[in-house]
Chain A
Amino acid sequence: MKTKLFVLTLAAVTLLGVRAYAHHSFAATYLEGEKMTVQADVLQFLYRNPHSFLQLESKDDKGKSITWAVEWGGGGQLGSQGVQRETLRPGDHVIVVGEPGRDPDAHRMRMISIKRPSDGWSWGGTFD
Chain B
Amino acid sequence: MILLPCPYCGPRNVSEFRYVGEVSERPDPNGTSIEEWRVFLYARNNPAGWTTETWFHSAGCRQHFVTERHTITNEVRASRLPEAQPREGQEERATGGNIAGDGGGATY
Q: Are both chains from one complex?
A: no
B residues near A, CB below 8 A? Answer: none
